[in-house]
Amino acid sequence: MSKEILKSIAILGLVFNTLSLQANENTNGLYIGLDAAFINIGDDTLEVGTYDSNGNNKNTKKYKDATSLSYDFKIGYQHYDKNRIEFTIKDKKIKTDTGDITANTLGINYELGFSSLESKNVLPYVSIGLDVGRAELKNFEFSNKKVDTISAIFGLGIRYNINENVDAKIGYLHSSTGFGDFENEKGDVQGIAQNQLDFGVSYKF
């Protein structure tokens, strides 16, 4: 996994370097950063469905998401109009009232900055993204299992430019995660939806 991540970073670095060479004088260029989401909003739940021998759903049980932490390293490209496209490497940990989930994912995210609403150093934004990777479930009623995972992500918030190179952000982040390749006689993990406060900092070159 670590070798694949290093290769991905190297390839992305070459791509973004090419983009920066082609950019005009108004282009902000490359940036790197770190985001963290660790304050849950509302009662997030993990859904687990049980099925009969014919694959028909008998019932769905929900587990409360007690605490969670996710952080991601990002490398991206910012255009002069404050829009951003970034690639992320994310680590996520979720604790429910029954068991734990850990996940490592790679993703892509697009952030639209509303430059027309920018006030001094404050810029509102919305973002959409997609993560894919592997998750491990532990201590649930069923056997521990590693499964494929895919997440759709939506965010909105405020970015504050501390200076010409450094900015920080705070916002709302919603993620809907689905799980695959997990079926046995007791259940199938269906998905988890999370609502969190998101914090981040980035450095522009």
Tens of pLDDT, residue by residue, the chain (205 residues): 455 555 555 555 555 455 444 444 445 789 999 999 887 776 666 766 655 556 666 666 677 765 788 889 999 999 877 899 999 999 988 887 777 888 999 999 999 999 888 888 899 999 999 999 988 888 766 555 778 888 999 999 999 989 888 999 999 998 888 876 555 545 556 677 788 899 999 998 8
Would you state the torsion angle of the CA atoms of residues 101, 126, 157, 85, taken in this order, to the nearest 10 degrees?
A: 70
Comparing CA positions, the residue from 127, 114, 134 lying closest to residue 5 is 134
Domain count, the chain: 1
Domain holding 141, by residue range, is: 2-204
Helix, strand or coil, per DSSP, at residue 14: helix
Q: What is the CATH number of the domain that holds 97?
A: 2.40.160.20
H runs (alpha helix) in 69-155? none
